[in-house]
Amino acid sequence: ARLQYIRQYEEREGVKLEAEKISKNPGRRQVAKLALNSFWGRWGMNLNKGQLTYVHTVPDFNKMMADP
């Protein structure tokens, strides 16, 4: 499975991986996963949030409607 992955990676990306240099590192994997999930959440945020305003008088309402 590992050699097949290395072969497919080289075909797709054009980068030759060295099997003896590939090792599992659970700590690094966890940190990378946390960073990617955090960025995904940050980039997925809606930046165009609406604003709620209470209007008690007609002139204030007209002013708010005229000024986007």
Q: What is the pLDDT of residues 9-65, one digit of tens each?
A: 999 999 999 999 989 999 999 999 999 998 888 777 777 778 888 999 999 999 989
Residue 54 lies in a domain: no
pLDDT tier for residue 67 given thresholds of 50, 70 and 90: confident
**Predicted pLDDT at 6:** 94
Amino acid at 40: W
38 in a domain, yes or no? no
Helix (H, G, I), strand (E, B) or coil at 45: coil
Instruction: Indicate whether 11 belongs to any domain.
Output: yes
- The answer on pLDDT for 68 being more than 70 is no
Pick from 44, 40, 17: nearest CA to 4: 17
Supply the range of the domain harboring residue 14: 1-28
The answer as to whether 56 is a domain residue is no
| pLDDT at position 12 | 96
Taking the model in full, what pTM does it have?
A: 0.45
